[in-house]
Amino acid sequence: MPSPFPGMDPWLEGEEVFPDLHDSLIFLLKEAINTALPPGYVATSRNRVWVDDELRREPDVALFGKDREPGNSSSAIALAGLVAVGQQLTPEPIEEPYLEIVSAKGKRLVTAIEIISLTNKRAGEQGRKTYTDKQHEYRLSGVHLVEVDLLRRGPHVAATPLAHLRKIFGEFDYHVSVVVAGAVPRYHAAGIKLVDRLPEFAIPLDTNVPPVTVNLQPLLDRCYDSGKYAALTSYREPCDPPLTPEQQVWAEGILRAKGLLP
């Protein structure tokens, strides 16, 4: 089942779904970029890894989710062949993938590609500060930076200043930011409203090498289908973060037309 919305589905921004969408988009984006790259360049995936002491291992959704059976608990379940050893409370390492385009010879980093995550926007040493420190490293190293922000929540963290984006696009919900490295960095961007399809955007490579273009919307559509997000999404409940009153009317009209609301 395809997403009912023409562009980004705002119901996918919640904490239960977006991390999976983030990782799926990274995988498909890597595939699409490698298909388009000229000889001499390769898109590779990397993981940003850290331990967050404030987080604990996520409980089993089957036991603690919304559709948990009344009276059911972990202590009442016997798993054949296994011996209970206690509850895991130790923080687990968190891995967050991103992409790098490197030269095939020498593995020189040319362009970094980030899909902004919920963690990137979260205040704290292992959240927003870690991400902005990485942006600074890219800038000092002369690395191009492409950022895709599909989250309405949280502060602006993309390298292109928000004032620049507002001046060009006015109000928008999502955006793509591209910083072309140089002595004086050049900024390119696309402001995306909820009603818009996600855009094509150009990914810079070395000087005198044409950029490659990737179309984001088909990748999101594939994620929606392969991730079975329709089964994880309740369109009868408000999305998080909530829509404006005008957006809510627009979204409900689409959902009713698709038979997803009465």
The tens digit of pLDDT for each residue in 109-141 reads: 999 999 999 999 998 767 889 999 999 999 999
Report if residue 60 sits inside a domain. no
Q: What is the Cα–Cα distance from 149 to 156, expressed in whole angstroms?
A: 9
Give pLDDT, residue 68: 47
Classify 10 as helix, strand or coil. Answer: helix
Q: Span 251-256, mean pLDDT?
A: 97
Report if residue 71 sits inside a domain. no
Give pLDDT, residue 1: 74
CATH number at residue 226: 3.90.1570
Report if residue 77 sits inside a domain. no
Higher pLDDT, 239 or 126: 239
Give the strand order in the sheet containing 93-103: 41-51, 93-103, 109-115, 144-149, 174-180, 186-192
Give pLDDT, residue 147: 98
Neighbours of 67 (CB within 10 A): 6
Confidence grade of residue 54 (pLDDT, cut at 50, 70, 90): low
How many structural domains does the chain have? Answer: 1
* 49 pLDDT above the threshold of 80: no
Q: What is the Cα–Cα distance from 130 to 48, expressed in whole angstroms?
A: 10
Give pLDDT, residue 53: 55
Spatial CA neighbour of 240 closest among 4, 5, 9, 23: 9
Report if residue 43 sits inside a domain. yes
Range(s) of the domain holding residue 28: 10-54+92-234
What does each C-alpha distance from 7 to 30, 52, 98, 150, 192 come to in angstroms?
A: 20, 33, 22, 10, 9
Q: Span 146-159, mean pLDDT?
A: 97
Q: What's the predicted TM-score (pTM) here?
A: 0.85
Spatial CA neighbour of 185 closest among 144, 132, 147, 131: 144
Report if residue 78 sits inside a domain. no
Using one digit for the tens of pLDDT, what is the confidence trace for 21-45? 999 999 999 999 999 999 999 999 9
* 94 pLDDT above the threshold of 50: yes
Higher pLDDT, 123 or 147: 147
Helix axes 18-36, 216-226, angle to 10 degrees: 130
114 burial class (0-12, 13-18, 19+ CB within 10 angstroms)?
buried
